Amino acid sequence: MRGPHNIWRLIRTGATLERTGAMNVVLDAFDAPKPLRILAHALGKPFMWLGYKGDPAMPPATRAITALGPAYIKFGQVLSTRPDVVGDELAVQLRVLQDKLPPFPLDVARAEVEKELGQPLPEMFSEFSEPIAAASIAQVHKARTAETGKEVAVKVLRPGIEKAFRKDIDAFYFAARIVDLFAPGARRLRPMDVIKHFDGVVRGELDLRLESSAASEFAANTKDDPKFVVPDIVWGLSARRVMTLGWADGAPLGDNDAIDAAGHDRVDLSERVLRLFLLHALRDGYFHADMHQGNLKVAPNGDIIAYDFGIMGQIDEYTRRVYAEILYGFIRRDYKRVAEVHFEAGYVPADRDVDEFARALRAVGEPIFGMDATRISMGRLLSYLFEVTERFGMETRTELILLQRTMVVVEGVARSLNPHINIWQVAHPVVEDYIKKSIGPRAILGDLAKTGRVLARYGPRLPGLVEAALIRQAEAQHPPARNVDKRLVLLTALIATTMGAAAGFALALLT
């Protein structure tokens, strides 16, 4: 029975936070008000003995999250990139969630590889190392192919990870249903849709064949991007639970000391990682949606290397144009246009006041410009944005969930490299270039050309489609008697339509 299991799971979540000492850490990080603190402890302390113990060697928050399982770890990974939201101390604690979790044994990994690829391991790899990185869903080994001697990275899913993740997602669905039932004010956020979207993303991450395909497509899209590299996939040594790709040496993007020691310019890196994300999202509509420090390296020559392609984001061309117009409006401080775009796209109900919405957006945007990034509290900014969206009845756009989440993560990565980065200043040239190419005369011609190609493809079928449509219209207006030829109905309708048009034209000439 899922209901009792999910209640039990949520109770153990609170109990684990209490038992590991993470409850106060989390409440302090989010600056929770006193009533919420009292309620949280009242619900957690009586059941504290039911909580997971975790690894006592870890800091409290990391200890609790790792004990709770992979879905919680994913959430912790996002928070680790936002010291402006959770504080520097907690952000540092959570950063070990990215690629420094306890690995599973080497012999288990070797057995998984042999089982999945169907060959003895020595026939495939002449070398196969101990785990060099372990994350929430998989771990990575450095290896050398037996056939070519090429250095590669071999990613192997954790045994039983599918079942463990299913339990977590099940509990999230249960929590979303509770929100739907008992918190009507939060329904506009569509919590069930959000969880369904997250569920679909994670299911894709648990099939490494899909990740291999994503990496291949991403590499093809970005092959001409300067100072950016995607390792190549070794398809013959990849399957559902194993993925093999080219090895890439470099300093982790989260290790500022190593980056400085290698002589890289952190200011340039911070700006480049943000520009690359925007370029991929706007130009290609296909972007790396898990761009935390654990998935990025800096090569000795300064190239940014991306890997771990389990979560990729995709947005259609119309949504990209809307997103770009909103960003560009903020950059130009044209809040009226930003408000109009929200209404045109249907993001805000049509019965709301566009001018009032523009004023609310101005109150969000103006504090950002001309300020040092270290003085901006993203927590307070997000809190105010939530109030604004609630007041104007905006709903969560499920197609933008990954885009919004990744923007938060990438901004956090950029700030970890350069705390004084001006996000809007860096974004301006990328967004402006996209606007020029996608919204203007050239874009209109491109849209017309696409429409022409579609019409040409369906050209042979157009007469039949038009005929069928006219028959349906004629029948709706004058239902034919039984045994009457439909073509006769069509002919009659055409004659009537033509005569009506001719009469109207003649009347217009006379007047």
Lookup: tokens for 475: 């029948």
Element (H, E) at 466: helix 462-477
Task: Report long-range pairs for 350-356 (Cβ below 8 Å, ≥24 apart).
Answer: 352/392, 352/393
Element (H, E) at 455: helix 441-457
Element (H, E) at 433: helix 423-438
Lookup: tokens for 128: 């196969």
Q: Which active-site residues does the annotation give?
A: 290
**Spatial separation of the C-alpha atoms in residues 41 and 17, rounded to whole Å:** 10
- DSSP label at residue 478: S
| Amino acid in position 14 | G
Element (H, E) at 133: strand 125-134
DSSP letter for each residue of 155-219: EEEPTTHHHHHHHHHHHHHHHHHHHHHH-GGGGGG-HHHHHHHHHHHHHHHT-HHHHHHHHHHHH
Tokens 């919680």 correspond to 72
**Can you count the helices (H) and strands (E) in the chain?**
23, 10
CA-nearest of 325, 288, 328 to 308 is 288
Lookup: tokens for 205: 């991450």
